[in-house]
Structure 1
Amino acid sequence: MEAKKEEKLHIVLFPWLAFGHMIPNLELAKLIAGKGHHVSFVSTPRNIQRLPKLSQNLVPLIKFVNLPLPTVQNLPQNAEATTDVPYDVVQYLKKAYDALEEPFTRFLESSKAHWLFYDFVPFWAPSVASKFGMKSAFFSIFTISTLGFYGPPSSLMGNDSYRQKPEDFTVPPLWVPFPTTVAYRYFEIKKIFDVMSDNDSGVSDVYRLGSSIQNCDIVVIRGCTDFEPEWFQVLENIFKKPVIPAGQLVNTEFKSGEDNDRWRWMEDWLDKQEHGRVVYVAFGSEAKPRQDEVAEIALGLEKSKLPFLWALRVKRGPWDPDVLRLPEGFEERTKGRGIVCTSWAPQLKILGHVAVGGFLTHSGWTSVVEAVQNEKPLVLLTFLADQGINARVLEEKKMGYSVPRDERDGSFTSDAVADSLRLVMVEEEGRIYRETIKEVKDLFVNKERQGRYMDELLNYLLNHL
């Protein structure tokens, strides 16, 4: 057993083509390589070019494997990630990704890897790995509570008789044995209910997820058992196979000089602001508000009287015909008090600045981890995917406060935005959010704990070759 620990692993990582998936996979790759093991990170050429650069000490251990994305009808040329295309085009990206099965099989055969870590979209990957006697792990960037809420593989693959309509997802499921508020709100599940049915890729998202869990040797999950112990127990009960936490995978972004110019003028502006008073607003690489929602957010920022830095994606990729616009006169009225950045923003650096006192976010888990890392309390405004489940966990733990919304259509007012921001960042009543975010920080960023999770995971992988 001890001799085995001296062996060096070769692990293949195969994430879905969304930056909210690729970045945690890259963080996992860095941690594995940091322990002296080899990683092959498989993606498409353009995505690999867009990933943060590695520090020099990791370059020999992490090999990027370029698999050109096959051409499929209705998917624009050079669109290689969900951030490149409108929401309704993502199904064609999945179709192209499925067409990678043959080149991926050829790579895996020649890789001499020990383990394959794959995401939920390539549900066909574990059968490819087993052809070559390779073990496979479903690596979930979804949190422990999200997977616990989604349920056992049989339920996800179409054998769920009691969750048939959106309303059924607004209450905790039968397999959760403790009281909790963790469930979708009606407007959240209604917006994404299409994931339950087949799309133009031929396979539904929930089937992909269920099959990915069912056919792996182990489930490796982003998260830490100390943060969600009761949900971790749910997973062990419903998956009936080893579930191993990988830690929160805190972003250790290493950037070269090309981003410095943009950061320099932002930093210069932030340096002039009062400590803890600036609102940072960003909704990740996929969530795109509607035009009416953008107007309410803008007017809410204006009414809050707080300084703000807003990273606003006005469209999802160059082929998005629906370009978002700020309300007339907004930029003139808030000149000097706020900045709206419509291109890439260095989020980790912004959140790390002392002037930033709160984060208006979509509740994507990478953004949540970065906020906790920098002790910034959260104001929550969900849009897609697992964000509603994440938001309930953050509400329960008093780490974030959700902007009040209409339960049926999800609409909200500028007053609700302004009041929520002031509550979390300024008012005495919201002190609990400011304090709790500092208290949980150690659970997320403690290097010793993260190291322990990684050692336990790697020991398991070595001992089950």
Structure 2
Amino acid sequence: MACVEKLHIVMFPWLAFGHIFPYLKLAKLMAAKGHKISFVSATPKNIDSLPKIPQNLAPFINLVKIPLPLVPNLPENAESTTEVPFHKVKYLKLMYDLLQEPITRFLESSTADWILADYVSYWLRPIASRLRIRWCPYNIFTASFMGFLGPPSNLIKGDGYRVKPEDFTVKPEWVHFDTNVAMSLYQSLALAAGYETDEETGNVSEAYRVGRSLEYFDMVAIRSSVEFEGDWLKLLQDMYEKPVIPVGLLPDVEESKEDDNEDWSEIKDWLDKQAKGSVLFVAFGSEAKLTQAQTTELALGLELTGLPFFWAMKKQRGLSDTEPVELPEGFQDRTRGRGMIYTTWVPQTKILDHESVSALLNSSGYSSVVEAMQFGKALILLPCVYDQGIIAKQLEEKKLGFQIPRDESDGGFTRESVAESVNLVMLDEEGKIYRDNVKDMQAILCDMDKQNGYVDNLLNYLQNHKFSKN
């Protein structure tokens, strides 16, 4: 049953486009039902980078720009994670933490009923409570990743039994159903820094931010669905002892307007010349950047496949990244005609929607995975950062994707393993299960009645549990 009285909802995502876009997609779905959305970004540049709000939704969505304060050690004008090397993201978080005063001033002048906020701004909950605005952590990670991390108290104080990187390579003791979802050793080693406070800056750990954001809340919203990970959602509900409301996987349902873009015209012309279902799309999203050694092996693996490919290649994370990666010598000459490489932004959903594209090789970034399944494209997985290793294990377990084999200790892989994985998923009979299962998930993702049902369920909860304004 739809809500009668309309809500005013503030949305406050972290400064990463892998967070901003799932927030914006949910904002549009709620605005389409007549609710007022204040979409706040702590950066004018990020707001200006967003796709234009559709005309029918524009009256309901207010894009709020809050200028970022200056912090030493950040490149000039850096306003998102894509513009800084990994080792400088901690300074972005410090800058984000300085927004407590301006976001408080904005909320004081608003008429907000709820604020849906990212884990990074864990400090916003007491501010919202003082202003009698309901607080809801909106989590854009999978339920499997959140379930693997564990209860909030464990994240804040440590769980007492996972003390070595090897301890994260097995199923946690609180997961009581059969699953192989866990971290590889190299992923655990990479994530270890997220469990420690940075001594240089005093920046609190990632685990602390996640735990504190979940410490006191009435409910948590999460980008997930029962069809995709029902067991993990039930685990979270039991673990948090509070309502966990999935908002759906948020497929891209808008009609793209990129046909007149010059780059898209060139890309489409090349794709149109390829055989139906023959092209491998290689894209690692906005966050992941391969090392030089990984880039070389990936490139030479693509060469070994003999298949046509389109590669959206990330050479560096912002202009301050002093270690840009390069293609192997002679690679472009040897693959000319059957390979196309772009080092700038590409219209990913348009490419995935093209009939010549058969599969996506990517880092298991959540949004890209959802987009690939939405368009029925098989998945070849090479996880790089953050939650991507858990997502890859989950997809592999569900036979929705195939992970390129790697060295468990350091994450290394070979050109031969790349070629064999691509050929298995795209061509071999053994890989048919991945191609078929992704088509089944496509049917679920494209069921907008299901997606709207998730949003209605969220809105009904928000309506029934807001503070009285009397």
TM-score, normalised to structure 2, is 0.97
Letter in 1 for 2:319: P
Q: Distance in 1 between matches of 2:187 and 2:149?
A: 14
Determine if contact 1:27/1:252 at 8 Å carries over to the other structure: no
Q: Distance in 1 between matches of 2:50 and 2:118?
A: 17
Q: Give 2:25's aligned residue.
A: 27
Q: Please give the per-residue CA displacement for 1:166-208, whole angstroms capped at 9, x wherever unaligned.
A: 1111011111001110000101111221101012352000100
Letter in 2 for 1:384: V
Q: Distance in 1 between matches of 2:107 and 2:65?
A: 13
Q: Percent same amino acid at aligned positions?
A: 51
Q: How many matched pairs? A: 463
Q: Give 2:168's aligned residue.
A: 169
5+ residue gaps, structure 2: none
Q: Distance in 1 between matches of 2:387 and 2:464?
A: 33
Measured after TM superposition, the shift of residue 256 of structure 1 is: 5.0
Q: Give 1:452's aligned residue.
A: 453
Matches within 5 A, 1:47-446: 47-199=46-198, 200=201, 202-252=203-253, 260-446=261-447
Determine if contact 2:301/2:414 at 8 Å carries over to the other structure: yes
Q: Distance in 1 between matches of 2:296 and 2:353?
A: 27
TM-score, normalised to structure 1, is 0.98
Q: Please give the per-residue CA displacement for 1:226-284, whole angstroms capped at 9, x wherever unaligned.
A: 22111111101111111111000112356555971110000000000011110000111
Determine if contact 2:281/2:361 at 8 Å carries over to the other structure: yes
Determine if contact 2:93/2:203 at 8 Å carries over to the other structure: no
Q: Distance in 2 between matches of 1:19 and 1:151?
A: 25
SS of residue paired to 1:220: strand
Letter in 2 for 1:331: Q
Measured after TM superposition, the shift of residue 346 of structure 1 is: 0.5
Determine if contact 2:44/2:65 at 8 Å carries over to the other structure: yes
Letter in 2 for 1:174: E
SS of residue paired to 1:121: helix
Distance 1:259 1:191, change over 3 A: farther
Q: Give 1:9's aligned residue.
A: 7
Distance 1:91 1:413, change over 3 A: same
Q: Distance in 2 between matches of 1:218 and 1:99?
A: 26
Determine if contact 1:129/1:135 at 8 Å carries over to the other structure: yes
Letter in 2 for 1:119: D
Q: Distance in 2 between matches of 1:258 and 1:61?
A: 27
Moved more, 179-188 or 436-445: 436-445
Distance 1:142 1:194, change over 3 A: same
Q: Distance in 1 between matches of 2:234 and 2:370?
A: 22
Q: Distance in 1 between matches of 2:405 and 2:252?
A: 30
Q: Distance in 2 between matches of 1:326 and 1:296?
A: 10
SS of residue paired to 1:211: helix
Moved more, 82-91 or 436-445: 436-445
Q: Distance in 2 between matches of 1:8 and 1:208?
A: 31
Q: Distance in 2 between matches of 1:230 and 1:236?
A: 10
Letter in 1 for 2:449: E
Determine if contact 1:92/1:201 at 8 Å carries over to the other structure: no
Letter in 2 for 1:167: E
Measured after TM superposition, the shift of residue 355 of structure 1 is: 0.4
Determine if contact 2:259/2:265 at 8 Å carries over to the other structure: no
Q: Distance in 1 between matches of 2:260 and 2:92?
A: 28
Determine if contact 2:374/2:441 at 8 Å carries over to the other structure: no
Runs of 4+ in 1 over 4 A off after TM superposition: 253-259
RMSD: 1.3
Q: Distance in 1 between matches of 2:83 and 2:450?
A: 36
Q: Distance in 1 between matches of 2:76 and 2:57?
A: 32
Distance 1:338 1:444, change over 3 A: same
Measured after TM superposition, the shift of residue 415 of structure 1 is: 0.5
Aligned pair partner of 1:37 in 21, 35, 38: 35
Distance 1:227 1:186, change over 3 A: same
Q: Distance in 1 between matches of 2:440 and 2:330?
A: 41
5+ residue gaps, structure 1: none
Moved more, 326-335 or 451-460: 451-460
Q: Distance in 2 between matches of 1:322 and 1:161?
A: 38
